[in-house]
A = this chain, B = another copy of it.
Amino acid sequence: MPADGFALCPVRDILDRVGDKWSLLCILYLGSTDRLRFNELRHSIMGISQRMLTVTLRSLENDGLVRRTVYAEVPPRVEYCLTALGQSLLGAVIELGNWAKDHAPVIAEARQRVVAPPAATAGQV
C-alpha cells in the first residue's frame, strides 16, 4: 500500500465510502422522504441486514451525510434524515440511478453477448 498523494485521492476516498453495498441505497431512500425510522428504512431496503443498516448509517452519519435523531421514549425511536450535505449528494446519486435504470437493458444485452458470442464470425478479433 503506497503512501499516495495524488489528486484523485478525494474521489477515491468518497467513492470508497459511497460505493459500498448499501450507502447509495440508504441515501436514495432517505432522499425520497423527510425522515425514516430504523425499521422503516430496513423494510424499504429489502435484503439489508440489521447489522449492515446500522453500520451503513453510522458511516454516513460520521461523514455528515445523515443526521440521526434519538427520542428519549420507550419504546425507543430513532429517526434518520439526510443532512444538507447528504442532499447535495442526492442529485448526483439520482442521476447515476437514472442512468442505471435507463441503460440496464443495454448492459444486460452486452453481458449476454459475452457469454454467447457469435459462433460463425471467422478470424475477426
Which of B70, B72, B85, B96 has a CB less than 8 Å from the CB of A92? B96
- Nearest residue in B to A100 (C-beta to C-beta)? B14
How many copies make up the complex?
2
Residues on A facing B (Cβ under 8 Å)? 1-2, 4-8, 10-21, 24-25, 28-29, 32, 44-47, 62-65, 70, 72, 85, 88-89, 91-93, 95-97, 99-101, 103-104, 106-107, 109-111, 113-114, 125
Q: Is the CB of B104 within 8 A of A4?
A: no
Are the CB atoms of B11 and A15 closer together than 8 Å? no
Is B11 within 8 A of A107, CB to CB? no
Beyond A5-B45, A8-B45, A11-B100, 13 extra complex contacts between A and B, CB < 8 Å: A2-B47, A4-B47, A5-B46, A7-B101, A8-B25, A15-B19, A15-B100, A19-B20, A64-B110, A64-B111, A65-B107, A85-B103, A92-B92
In this complex, what residue of B is CB-closest to A7? B101
Name the B residues within 8 Å of A13 (CB-CB).
Answer: 100, 104
